[in-house]
């Protein structure tokens, strides 16, 4: 959880060594859920423009997005930016790699960044 009363920056660096090969379908995720007043204000950067994950065209994959620099929040309680330098796939709300439907998940469950998959 994040408290907007204190401005600051949190850097997270993840390193993974000696991962064994696997022929079964698998994926690794890094999730981040910040405690914000209105999670529906989250925007993702797509092709240099802010896009709401809640306003994706029908059959336009509402579950997984290729993003640019990251996702941002701007609300009455403050602002936040989650920059992802090496993981371009983001799932709003929950990890949904192979779910192809038109449902949307609540954004209060945060963002999940796909670090790798072999699917």
pTM for the model: 0.86
Q: Is 39 helix (H, G, I), strand (E, B) or coil?
A: helix
What is the C-alpha R_g of the chain? 15
DSSP lists the bridge partners of residue 81 as 72
Check residue 49 and give its pLDDT: 95
**Ranges of each domain in the chain:** 28-96+107-117
Give the pLDDT score at 1.
41
User: What is the Cα 27 distance to its own chain's centre?
Assistant: 15
What is the structure's pLDDT at 5?
54
For every one of its 119 residues, what pLDDT tens digit does the chain have, with 9 covering 90 and above? Answer: 444 455 678 888 888 899 888 899 999 999 999 999 999 999 999 999 999 999 989 888 899 999 999 999 999 999 999 999 889 999 999 999 888 888 888 999 999 999 999 88
The CA distances from residue 57 to 5, 9, 33, 103, 108, in Å, are 36, 34, 25, 11, 21
Helix H or strand E encompassing 95: none
């Amino acid at each position: 959880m994040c408290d907007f009363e204190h401005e600051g920056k949190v850097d997270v660096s993840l390193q993974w060594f000696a991962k064994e090969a696997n022929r079964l379908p698998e994926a690794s995720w890094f999730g981040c859920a910040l405690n914000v007043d209105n999670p529906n204000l989250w925007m993702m950067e797509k092709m240099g423009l802010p896009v709401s994950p809640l306003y994706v065209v029908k059959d336009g994959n509402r579950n997984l997005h290729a993003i640019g620099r990251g996702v941002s929040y701007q609300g009455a309680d403050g602002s936040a930016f989650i920059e992802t330098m090496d993981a371009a796939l983001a799932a709003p709300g929950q990890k949904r790699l192979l779910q192809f439907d038109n449902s949307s998940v609540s954004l209060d469950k945060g963002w999940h960044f796909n670090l790798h998959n072999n699917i």
